[in-house]
Amino acid sequence: MSLKRIAFRAGLLLGLGVAFAPVAGSGLLFPAAQAQTAANSAVITPVQTLYAALEQIQTSHAGFSDRAAIVGAAVDKSFDLSAVLKASVGLRYDSLTPEDKAKLLAAFRDFTVARYVSSFTPGAGARFTIKPEPENSPVAGDKIVNTFIGSQDSMPGTPLSYIMHHEDNGWRITDVLLSESRISQAAAQRSDFRSTLTSGGVAGLIKVLENKVKSFSEAK
């Protein structure tokens, strides 16, 4: 299930603006509470970065490539795309050559960015709400950031959650959980990618991703 389909299901083509849940309340905090607030803020920051970019391109009338540059910068800061790609390819990923991994990652990045740009078009009016307190993931050490994407007339909107993993350079998104049933986007992509990899190999999958990017950009 794509983000674009979720957008249409939630009626995102209405309303304007972005709403972020506050990270800290007013008043004084004890040191332990301050530390917890700071830790929570670090976890949700990548999602805030992504949503800020999506809000920006909805109010921009720049061309597709300019909006893609805005989203691309946010995706690079917010996601561990190598981890997302590995999960999306599955077990055969480890058998790919370093060159194939690099080429596939470049195509996957372009696809990820183009899909966001195509889903959140100028005037779409999606509103984003982020719960300020992440929950623990079943995977030890990981966190889940819960959000909603809605419109001015349908708040809070459709649930969308992000799996966060801590790396040397901070927290990064490694998967997206779609809708109330928390369907793994990586798992859904793995199902889509499997047949293409079987029939056409890495070159075939890259071609499919490039064609999807072209389709997204032409639709604008």
- pLDDT band of 21, cuts 50, 70, 90: very low
Mean model confidence pLDDT for the chain: 86
Predicted TM-score of the model (pTM): 0.83
Could you tell me which residue, 80 or 180, shows the higher pLDDT?
80
Residue 147 to residue 44: CA distance in whole angstroms? 10
Pairing verdict, β 127-130 and 154-167: unpaired
31 pLDDT above the threshold of 80: no
What is the predicted pLDDT for the residue at 113? Answer: 98
What is the predicted pLDDT for the residue at 219? Answer: 78
CATH number at residue 64: 3.10.450.710
How confident is the model over 16-39, as a mean pLDDT? 57
User: Strand pairing partners for 127?
Assistant: 150
* Residue 82 three-state SS: helix
* Residue 193 domain-assigned (yes or no): no
Residue 58 to residue 117: CA distance in whole angstroms? 9
DSSP annotation string for 65-96: HHHHHHHHHHHHHHB-HHHHHHHHH-GGGGGS
Q: Which of 11-25, 29-43, 121-135 has the lowest mean pLDDT?
A: 11-25
Number of domains in the chain: 1
Which has the closest alpha carbon to 165: 187, 139, 147?
A: 139
* Residue 63 domain-assigned (yes or no): yes
* Residue 215 domain-assigned (yes or no): no
* Residue 149 domain-assigned (yes or no): yes
* Residue 102 domain-assigned (yes or no): yes
25 pLDDT above the threshold of 60: no
202 pLDDT above the threshold of 80: yes
Query: Domain range holding 53?
Result: 3-21+32-187
pLDDT tens sequence across 32-84:
777 788 889 999 999 999 999 999 999 998 999 999 999 999 999 999 999 99
* Residue 113 domain-assigned (yes or no): yes
Element (H, E) at 218: helix 185-219
* Residue 27 domain-assigned (yes or no): no
* Residue 199 domain-assigned (yes or no): no
- pLDDT band of 180, cuts 50, 70, 90: confident
- Quick one: tokens of 192? 């889509």
